[in-house]
Structure 1
Amino acid sequence: MHEETLGSGIYLPEIHDTVFNRAEDAHRFEFNGSARDYFRIWIVNVALSIVTLGIYSAWASVRTRRYMYANTLFEGSPFEYLARPIPILRGRLIAAALFATYIMASHFSRTLQLVTMGVIGVFMPWMIVKGLMFRARYSAWRGLHFRFIADYGGAYQWYLLVYMLMAIPLALSGLLAQGGHPFTGMVLFLAGFFLFYPWLKGNQQQWMAEHHYFGGKSFRFTREPSAYYRIYGAALGIGVLCMIPSGILMGLMFNAMVKSHIDPRQHSIPVLLATYLCIAPTYLIMWTYVHVRMTNALYNQASLGRYQFESSLRFWPMLYIYLGNVLAIIFTIGLAIPWAKIQVARYRASCLQVAGEGRLEEFTQRTSGADVAATGTEIDSLLGFDIGL
């Protein structure tokens, strides 16, 4: 939760957006980073990561996050990222080994590949908890560290068992399709997906938020289940509307190929690129809408003590930023990536604030003692790692 708050990588008409309007004091976030300064860090990171075959990427992540955190201010004070690269590197090596094992298993037998995928799925909730613990432990503001309290039972419940339940409609839809009822199978799959998935995402946000602590106090989360169904229902409607022009473009393209006596199988790469070009805008619009609404839902339902978070991200400004970023990255062959990240971080920070009565200085002074006592009992960083989740 804290990472999105810091703006270092923070998740159509704004109907049903939950935006609070309160009379209490508002404490706003600011982001003061510049594309020129970040470009110097980024270009060195890319060069050294290439030269070292990716090993330097752990150091690159630390440098990037430290820059982003240091340029994100709350009440005039910057955030701090205090992690060291070695635990991050160790975590990435473990993740790379798991992925390599999965790829290698596919060359031997389908059964071995499925077993490997199952083993990875069993370990994934554990890795999610470890990653959240690591990020929280090494994130701080005014000398106070965030904390994530390990809850492996909750992680396995919301990141494994519920997904296994969601697989039941998928399996049944596959059986119906094989039995000659593909339409019925598709309806069953969509019904199962939209019944479980919004409910699942709401519970995942609540689990993540309520296990984060800052200054000796835990974050609280007041979940509104219907909000998640509205978000994904609207996203589905947007996707259907966007697929109409995409489908027309694809139809015109294939019709032109038929008239020109062009065999798509002999020009698979151009056809594939043209298909992606038709579908990409739909994906970007849907992803942006869900990302904006889910980010607002996360923060607007979260509180810390008597302080309430307020997120006011809007779809159209965010889509405009993303479109500009995509075009800039394409036309500069990737050199505009630092500028794009700075644009997104600045907008996200500008749309986030904390409302509540009193002074934050009093809150941090009153709770600092509890945080010191708690951090003294945490495990050493050798047992924590970050896999970039």
Structure 2
Amino acid sequence: MNNKVIFHGKGGEFFGIWIVNILLSVVTLGIYSAWAKVRTKKYFYGNTELAGDRFDYHATPTQILIGRIIAFVCVLIWAIANATFPLVASLLMLIFVGFTPILARNNARFDARMSSYRNVRFNFTGSVKGAYWAMMGAGLIGMIPLVFLAIITALVAAHSVVLVIICGILTVAAYLFLFAYVSAAMTRYFANGYQYGDRPFRAEISTEFFIKTILLGALMGAGLTIVMMAVAAIIAVVIAFLTMSSGEMGTVIDQFWFMVGGMSGMVYVILLMAFIAVFVQVRVRNYTFAQLVVSGDPEYGFTSTVRTRSFVWLMITNFLAQAFSLGLARAWVMVRTTRFLCEHTSVVGDLSLLTAKGEVMDEGAAIADEVASAFDIEMGLG
């Protein structure tokens, strides 16, 4: 039995909440932003339905505000240090980067613990050790081939152009492998860290899938680039032929088309990178949800049916709507995107048989979670 997630929110309805949130946040110099975040979360959670029941969000504005005040103080200290003692500021930045896995893990835990379905809270039980391995350890190990190739390239640079080209190709391949390896490690960490009451989530995440996905994205990008270069070459030949005997006017036309070509190339690169990123994101989301299981009796699975073409169209139209409305369409975009993702997400199983016991939460870690949430280092399952 597939239970599709349904979102009941409306763009016009949320627009009023969004505008009030912005105005009050500006008037109160950002203090109301904590209340704004809670109102927004409650709206989206409260309008998301699964098998006849809706989700809920339980964080209080005071919790969010405490975290944001501490985060603001940290940023202020860094700004003062950057203006007076740049070396100290650099050291503080390194310390912040070093704490990023803890912040990401605590942020996931905070959001999970503040969320509920059928009056049972979610939780995130991923360990700090696991966070460091997924976000830093895997990357450091994956960097070894890149460093090795960089050393070889430097040694052969003066002796063989062919070897340099080969090392360059191998470096790109090693980078793609590194990206796939780290992405798989992070997905594995978060997918196996969530919990609904006393029911843990689990997923068998294959690194091989991520390698294939990244390679497919790279090959797709290379293929599209070759096609674009061929089209550009044909256009250039045609323009050169048409302007060959045009004298001074031909030079002006050549300069015009050179400028247009440069701008078109930049736009193409941006669009291509965005398309590949969406392609990878969609494949990873669909794969991860297909692997995800909620343990217990009975077990429950998930499906995600997002298509790259549909998601690309959603992103393009969202961008255009915000650009032409000078940002006023942001509320509509948030509602539209949430509805799209919900329409393509289902829970597999008979939810009338779902039972779960609420877990006792460690309230002592609340402030750390709130501070992490304030930095908005949001990682997890899409």
Please indicate the TM-score interval, normalised by the length of the shorter structure.
0.7 to 0.9
- SS of 1:384's equivalent in the other structure is helix
Q: Distance in 1 between matches of 2:16 and 2:115?
A: 23
AA matched with 2:300: Y
Give per-residue Cα distances to partners, 1:255-311, cap 9 Å, x unaligned.
9999549999xxxxx999876534321122112112211111221110112111111
1:204 aligns with 2:195: no
Could you tell me which amino acid in structure 1 is paired with residue 215 of structure 2?
G
Select the residue among 262, 269, 288 that pairs with 1:298: 288
Partner of 2:195: 213
Given that 2:55 and 2:115 are in contact with CA atoms closer than 8 Å, whether structure 1 keeps it comes out as: yes
Identity value in percent: 25
**What does 1:247-326 correspond to in 2, within 5 Å?**
259-260=254-255, 276-305=266-295, 306-326=299-319
What is the match of residue 226 of structure 1? 208
* 1:360 alignment partner AA: L
Structure 1 CA distance for aligned equivalents of residues 82 and 224 of structure 2: 36
List runs of 5+ in structure 1 lacking aligned partners: 1-24, 265-269
Q: Quick check: 1:351 aligned with 2:344?
A: yes
Structure 2 unaligned runs (5+)? 158-163, 241-250
Once the two structures are overlaid, the 10-residue window that deviates more, 56-65 or 67-76, is 56-65
Q: Tell me if structure 2 keeps the 8 A contact 1:249–1:278.
A: no
Return the alpha-carbon distance in structure 2 between the equivalents of residues 224 and 192 of structure 1.
18
Distance 1:271 1:301, change over 3 A: same
Q: Secondary structure at the match of 2:309?
A: helix
Give distance in 1, aligned partners of 2:231 and 2:311: 25
Q: Please give the alpha-carbon distance, in whole angstroms, between the structure 2 residues aligned to 1:112 and 1:157.
A: 27
CA-CA distance at 1:315 after TM superposition? 0.8
Alignment match, 1:33:
9
Higher gyration radius (CA): 2
Superposed counterparts of 1:1-389, under 5 Å: 25-95=1-71, 115-172=91-148, 181=157, 183=165, 186-244=168-226, 259-260=254-255, 276-305=266-295, 306-356=299-349, 359-364=350-355, 367-368=356-357, 371=358, 374-379=359-364, 381-385=366-370, 386=373, 387-388=375-376, 389=378
Rounded to whole Å, the distance in 1 between the matches of 2:68 and 2:217 is 33
Letter in 1 for 2:174: G
The more displaced of 285-294 and 91-100 is 91-100
Q: TM-score, normalised by structure 2?
A: 0.79
Contact 1:31 1:73 in 2 (8 A): yes
What one-letter code is carried by the residue in structure 1 that aligns with 2:15? F
Distance 1:262 1:45 in 2: 47
1:96-142 C-alpha deviation (Å, 9 max, x unpaired): 56566666766678865653443122111111111111011100011
| CA shift in 2, pair 1:89/1:377, >3 Å | closer
Aligned-partner Cα distance in 1 for 2:228–2:77: 38
Give the number of equivalent residue pairs: 351
Distance 2:306 2:90 in 1: 40
1:375 maps to a residue whose letter is V
Amino acid at match of 1:361: S
Give the Cα–Cα distance (whole angstroms) in 2 for the partners of residues 53 and 262 of structure 1: 48
Amino acid at match of 1:282: L
Compared CA separation, residues 177 and 41, structure 1 to 2 (3 A) = farther
Which amino acid letter does the alignment assign opposite residue 143 of structure 1? N
Structure 2 distance, partners of 1:209, 1:188, is 31
Are the aligned partners of 1:206 and 1:223 in contact in 2 as well (CA < 8 Å)? yes
Query: CA offset at residue 177 of structure 1?
Result: 6.2
Provide closer, same or farther for how the CA distance between residues 142 and 337 of structure 1 changes in structure 2, counting only shifts above 3 A: same
CA RMSD of aligned residues (A): 3.5
